[in-house]
Chains A and B, each alone.
Chain A
Amino acid sequence: MNPQRTPRLGLIVNPIAGMGGRVGLKGTDGDELLRLAVARGAVPMAESRAALCLEAFLKGAEGRPFELHVGPGAMGERVAERYGLGVVVAGRGALPPPSSVRTTAEDTRRTARNMADTGVDLLLFAGGDGTARDICVALGRDRLVLGIPAGVKIHSAVYASSPAAAGFLAAATLFGDTSVIREKLAEVMDIDENAYRSGVLRAKLFGYLRIPYERRRVQGLKAGSGTPEAAAQAEIAAAVAETISAGPETLWLIGAGTTTKAVTDALGLSGTLLGVDACLGGSLVALDLSERDILALIAQQSDPKKIKILLTPIGGQGFLFGRGNQQFSPDVIRAVGRENLMILATPDKLHTLRGAPLLADTGDPSLDLELEGYYRIVSSYGGFTVYPLAAAGQ
């Protein structure tokens, strides 16, 4: 944040996000579906969600000055007008007329890039998983953004828990005690909407966005202290790296995520963030594996008992299998065995689950049931948490 100038907030509304939900359509990706949704009487939800967020933001801003940069028309301009807010409209002209809700993915991306160029300090976007993907494509991991939940069903961890929460957090980020706000990378999920509509949730980890979160504000407690997420991941990674180094003959199948990436980093290896990598004898033998590649590696492994899967649940959701790591198919999981799953999760990640179990949705309901039970999760250096896993269908 640049203290020399008025803080800048960006707001992009994806007006069509959430329209499918009320009329029984899961998502609005694609023109035909959108027409169908409108025909069924769908009304734009995202704008009212954005309004709730703005109300909370204004409360939190307490009259302090800020610049609001919005998308044109239904993409933000219109909702800002409700509050009589003077706005800077990003990239008008190249975009559809203000009344149109027929925006496209490219409109979202272009507006986001435009706002990034004008230097917004925080970009709020109202939408769903598809919107998060568009922001991710447009901005990568370096810009500070935050999602206002407005989609049908959101699997990405980049969204605040409610529109009001997004508004308060945005105000704290722009005006608050800056020592309170921390940044972290959170998951953006890619859900196959076609499959989802036919009742199958197929998701992969699409990427990461940088979001703000509120650190414990008050210091001076009598004991204990919060560990920043990156340090907590490094601590886990140090412990796991020792285990991996101690067992060079074991084939380690390392799943997606920042926690597992910290492990390959700790080993001095350059693993992928989003794919499954294989580690054997102290080096990475293959990157970004498909299910078939994994099965081939398993078949080659001389001692089939010495295979381990290293993985971490999706934050806020708790999915261990079936979101972002379909490469770990039922065949792969069965071949490796549940006793060879090594699950990593920082304490904060577990706390975000609020006591809900980890979830398995492997695509094979009977395997999901077999996987149920308690696991010893690596949660710090020398520290473990015993935590339940349940079949997602339950």
Chain B
Amino acid sequence: MKTNPKTEPRDFHQAKWDEPVIFELSTPGERGVLLPGTEPEIAALGNPWEDLPKELHRTSPPALPEMSQMRVLKHYLRLSQENLGADLNIDIGQGTCTMKYSPKINDQFATSPKLAELHPLQAPSTVQGTLEILYETEQFLKEISGLDRFCLHPGGGSQAILGIGSVIRNWVDANGMADRKDEIVTTIFSHPSNPAVAKIKGFKVITIYPDPVTGRPDMKAFMAAVNERTAALLITNPEDIGLYNPSIREMTDLVHSVGGLCSYDQANANGVLGIARAREAGFDLCFFNLHKTFSSPHGCGGPGSGVLGVQKHLVPFLPAPVVDVDDQGNYFLQYEGVDRENRIKDYYGVLPAIVRAYAWMLSLGDEGLREVARVSILNNNYIFRKILRIPGADAPFAAGEHRMEQVRYSWQGLKDATGCGVADVQNRIFDFGMHIWTSHEPWIVPEPFTIEPTESYSKDELDEYVAVLEQIVREAHENPDILKKAPHRSTIHHVDHDVLEDPKRWAITWRAYNRKYRGYFEAR
């Protein structure tokens, strides 16, 4: 029994069920659920599919497993135990993703039949409660950003960036500027979806590197990059290294002076809620991730929600519909004044995520949101100083400055001294029930890891995380083998990734596996 978890890492072992692939659990004849039969009068009409040409009849039934209900349940619950969610983990090592607490009470709202059993095309009079929530959520977001109108449709940050790319594309085209505005400027530390979307929408992408001392975008390079062809700036602030860019207003002013738009990727908004807004920084567009900053859970990679806001002059380009309220206080889907053609997502947004974010904002209010920012930054600077004391850990750029809500560190020093880099630390930290992320490419910061403590973790938990890092670094010096052979207490051992890179050997489905192999990876 550990008596002091802060300084002595816990004796963790992940669940290992040795669970077969679901197809191996099939027992012909078993059923998981039964369907309501059709009544005799309906059945009497015969099988309509017999009226179809024979080649449309599915002759061989899909080779799905046949399993009783409890067997299916047990299989998936075992898999869930072999998964380490943020509810179990001190999940501060997934920096940039804002792994905060997602309150359980909000799950009750998201899964309530009063939301779950609504069809998107119901008459507005039957969905007033949901429309009101959408309306209020938009009002809250307007306050937080200072922008004028929000579209809540996108299913995540990347799709919100797609929405922003669409608004920019359509704005350029509508103003007849397609032949003279064809460039988008961004920074190397911005999320990779920013340049990717810019390319999809037919723009050239001009990238700016950071100043090697301050870590902020190189302003001289930026000035050289912006010109009359600049359609837009896509930028994050603070960027993923955790430094606020104080020149942001000069940047947006410069882009506006050549007639371009400025879009704010607010993936890192957690440290600036109620502290600094898109409007004052001069942005025309912005987006937030409701599944990160606003507490909706990440769901293994979605469903999430990205919400996209614009200044008044871009409202006509915002995807339709938005929600408005009439004089009688009735809420309705508004298609006028926004763009019916600029659709990016089915229907009106990921309601379960939006409702959670709505409830989260309600539970905090103005002062509470600001406290989220204050504490996330306090937590970060607290752990920042502790991590910098670990030999081999370093934080490039802006020496001596405080950081915002996260820091991108480097294990290069550890790698030079011991041969163990971030990948080795990562494989070892699993043994303590924790996680560390290697961060977005490109690795401008060598051997990078990004820690974002958010407001959700207590001081003791931050101490515990650092204690684990300290132990791993000690091991790297004394016996690097421990790291190189890690994980030791995980569900599985090292995966042979070569198989996954070779078209002859990869198998993306069980069907493909059986075509390529028999037994245990014995090639056919």
Whether A and B are associated in the same complex: the answer reads yes
Contact B212 A374 (CB under 8 A): no
Given A162-B416, A171-B419, CB of A351 within 8 Å of CB of B220? no
Contact B419 A60 (CB under 8 A): yes
Chain B residues in 8 Å Cβ range of A386: 206-209, 221-222, 224-225
Contact B416 A218 (CB under 8 A): no
Q: Which of B9-17, B29-37, B117-125, B438-446 makes up part of the contact surface?
A: B438-446
Chain A residues in 8 Å Cβ range of B225: 374, 376, 386
Asked if B339 lies at the interface with its beta carbon under 8 angstroms from chain A, I say no
Find residues 147-203 in chain A having any chain B CB closer than 8 Å to their own CB: 162, 164-165, 167-168, 171, 177-179
Chain B residues in 8 Å Cβ range of A108: none
Distance between Cα atoms of A380 and B203 in the complex (Å) = 13
Chain A residues in 8 Å Cβ range of B209: 350, 355, 385-387
Asked if A292 lies at the interface with its beta carbon under 8 angstroms from chain B, I say no
Chain B residues in 8 Å Cβ range of A225: 441
Given A60-B419, A382-B204, A385-B206, CB of A348 within 8 Å of CB of B221? no
Given A60-B419, A385-B209, CB of A374 within 8 Å of CB of B193? no
Distance between Cα atoms of A387 and B212 in the complex (Å) = 12
Distance between Cα atoms of A221 and B442 in the complex (Å) = 12
A167 nearest CB neighbor, chain B only: B419
Contact B207 A379 (CB under 8 A): yes
Contact B501 A179 (CB under 8 A): yes
B94 nearest CB neighbor, chain A only: A222
Given A218-B438, A379-B207, A383-B195, CB of A164 within 8 Å of CB of B416? yes
Asked if B426 lies at the interface with its beta carbon under 8 angstroms from chain A, I say yes
Chain B residues in 8 Å Cβ range of A217: 421, 423
A161 nearest CB neighbor, chain B only: B416
Chain B residues in 8 Å Cβ range of A347: 442
Contact A216 B419 (CB under 8 A): no
Asked if A95 lies at the interface with its beta carbon under 8 angstroms from chain B, I say no
State which of A178, A379, A384 has its C-beta within 8 Å of the C-beta of B498: A178
Contact A218 B426 (CB under 8 A): yes
Contact B207 A226 (CB under 8 A): no
What 0/1 readout, one digit per residue, does chain A (352-384) give for beta carbons within 8 Å of chain B? 001110000000000000000110100111111
A175 nearest CB neighbor, chain B only: B484
Contact B423 A388 (CB under 8 A): no
Distance between Cα atoms of A355 and B497 in the complex (Å) = 32
Contact B442 A351 (CB under 8 A): yes
Closest Cβ of chain B to A384, distance in Å, is 5
Find residues 200-230 in chain B having any chain A CB closer than 8 Å to their own CB: 203-212, 218, 220-222, 224-225
Contact A62 B481 (CB under 8 A): yes
Chain A residues in 8 Å Cβ range of B152: none
Total contacts A to B, CB within 8 angstroms?
107
Asked if B251 lies at the interface with its beta carbon under 8 angstroms from chain A, I say no
Given A221-B440, A224-B440, A374-B220, CB of A355 within 8 Å of CB of B210? yes
Asked if A295 lies at the interface with its beta carbon under 8 angstroms from chain B, I say no
Chain B residues in 8 Å Cβ range of A223: 158, 191-193, 440
B213 nearest CB neighbor, chain A only: A355
Closest Cβ of chain A to B216, distance in Å, is 12
Contact A177 B497 (CB under 8 A): yes
Contact A216 B441 (CB under 8 A): yes
Contact A373 B497 (CB under 8 A): no
Chain B residues in 8 Å Cβ range of A373: 224
Given A217-B423, A376-B225, A388-B220, CB of A177 within 8 Å of CB of B416? no
Contact A226 B497 (CB under 8 A): no
Chain A residues in 8 Å Cβ range of B416: 162, 164-165
Q: Size class of A's contact patch?
A: 35 or more
Contact A376 B206 (CB under 8 A): yes
Chain B residues in 8 Å Cβ range of A226: 441-442
Distance between Cα atoms of A376 and B225 in the complex (Å) = 8
Asked if A35 lies at the interface with its beta carbon under 8 angstroms from chain B, I say no
Contact A388 B218 (CB under 8 A): yes
Asked if B494 lies at the interface with its beta carbon under 8 angstroms from chain A, I say yes
B208 nearest CB neighbor, chain A only: A386
Chain A residues in 8 Å Cβ range of B220: 374, 388
Asked if A332 lies at the interface with its beta carbon under 8 angstroms from chain B, I say no
Distance between Cα atoms of A383 and B184 in the complex (Å) = 10
Chain B residues in 8 Å Cβ range of A230: none
Closest Cβ of chain B to A275, distance in Å, is 31
Asked if B199 lies at the interface with its beta carbon under 8 angstroms from chain A, I say yes
Contact B494 A177 (CB under 8 A): yes
Asked if A59 lies at the interface with its beta carbon under 8 angstroms from chain B, I say yes
Chain B residues in 8 Å Cβ range of A222: 97, 301
Closest Cβ of chain B to A267, distance in Å, is 21
Distance between Cα atoms of A167 and B220 in the complex (Å) = 39
Asked if A287 lies at the interface with its beta carbon under 8 angstroms from chain B, I say no
Contact A179 B498 (CB under 8 A): yes
Asked if A56 lies at the interface with its beta carbon under 8 angstroms from chain B, I say yes
Closest Cβ of chain B to A332, distance in Å, is 24
Closest Cβ of chain A to B392, distance in Å, is 13
Chain A residues in 8 Å Cβ range of B426: 218
Asked if A219 lies at the interface with its beta carbon under 8 angstroms from chain B, I say yes
Distance between Cα atoms of A218 and B193 in the complex (Å) = 20
A347 nearest CB neighbor, chain B only: B442
B497 nearest CB neighbor, chain A only: A179
State which of B204, B438, B480 has its C-beta within 8 Å of the C-beta of A383: B204
Closest Cβ of chain A to B371, distance in Å, is 28
Contact A351 B444 (CB under 8 A): yes
Contact A356 B205 (CB under 8 A): no
Distance between Cα atoms of A167 and B484 in the complex (Å) = 16
Find residues 37-70 in chain A having any chain B CB closer than 8 Å to their own CB: 56, 59-60, 62
Closest Cβ of chain B to A140, distance in Å, is 27
Chain A residues in 8 Å Cβ range of B444: 351, 355
With contacts A179-B496, A221-B440, A351-B442 known, what are 19 further pairs, Cβ within 8 A?
Answer: A60-B419, A62-B480, A62-B484, A165-B416, A216-B441, A217-B423, A218-B426, A223-B192, A347-B442, A354-B212, A373-B224, A379-B207, A382-B204, A383-B199, A383-B206, A384-B204, A384-B206, A385-B209, A388-B221
Q: Which 8 A-B pairs have the closest CB atoms?
A: A355-B212, A374-B224, A224-B192, A217-B423, A386-B225, A168-B419, A179-B497, A386-B221
User: What are 30 A-B residue pairs whose CB atoms fall within 8 Å in the complex?
Assistant: A59-B419, A62-B481, A164-B419, A165-B416, A167-B419, A218-B438, A221-B438, A223-B191, A223-B192, A223-B193, A226-B441, A348-B442, A351-B442, A351-B443, A355-B210, A355-B212, A356-B212, A374-B220, A374-B225, A376-B206, A382-B199, A383-B204, A383-B206, A385-B206, A385-B207, A385-B209, A386-B207, A386-B221, A387-B221, A388-B220
